[in-house]
Amino acid sequence: MSLGEFMKDRDSAGLTPGRTSRVDSILDQLDIPDPFSTDELVRRVAEMRGRPIHLESMPGITSEMPCGFWVALDDMDLIAVEDATSPMHRDHIVLHELSHMLLGHEAGQDLHTRLPLRVAPELVSRMLGRTSYENAIEREAETLAGLIASRAAQRSAVDRSTPPALRRMNTVLSGY
């Protein structure tokens, strides 16, 4: 399935037309690195937001917890990723959490009490962690993350130097 077909089929993700339009707008405005690098995209999003984004490997994440999460502190953003995951899954988790930032999502602080995070709760202004795709915010972030990965892979489809993990991610996403 091409990127265009995938974009047309997003209704199956349960997004309303307004959410689909917002995802399209953000995707079109996003300066996706070519060749693609997750770290470079993180740097570009940090620059857009005017604040640093730190990636942290998080040991001890269990199946009852999200495999990754985003914490917005007063002066920086933190994306934590399960340390026992594959490079391809790590990249997708980072894209998902970046998508929350790009979409302006917010969440309560209750997630803070369930995660192995050593940050005082009063310093956390926003925190999101995915454990399922049952709500529209998670589906919207997942849709944008998948579209970023697909667009990045398609841009460099003729360039065989595309990282194997990104080529595999595009192959998987193209099957839907």
Which of 5-14, 68-77, 86-95 is the most confident on average? 86-95
101-107 mean pLDDT: 84
Report the distance separating Cα 55 and Cα 70, nearest Å: 9
| 58 bridge partner residues | 82
* Number of Cβ atoms within 10 Å of the Cβ of 51: 15
**pLDDT score of 95:** 96
Residue 117: pLDDT over 80 = no
Report the distance separating Cα 82 and Cα 69, nearest Å: 9
Which residue did the predictor score with more confidence, 6 or 26?
Answer: 26
Which of 10-19, 89-98, 103-112 is the most confident on average? 89-98
Which residue did the predictor score with more confidence, 99 or 166?
Answer: 99
Q: What is the pLDDT of residues 33-58, one digit of tens each?
A: 988 999 999 999 999 999 999 998 88
Categorize the per-residue pLDDT at 157 as very low, low, confident or very high, splitting at 50, 70 and 90: low
Residue 77: pLDDT over 50 = yes
Which residue did the predictor score with more confidence, 29 or 172?
Answer: 29
Report the distance separating Cα 15 and Cα 20, nearest Å: 6
Three-state SS sequence of 96-117:
HHHHHHHHCCCCCCHHHHHCCC
**Cα first-last separation, the chain:** 7
Residues in CB range of 4: below 8 A, 6 or more apart: none
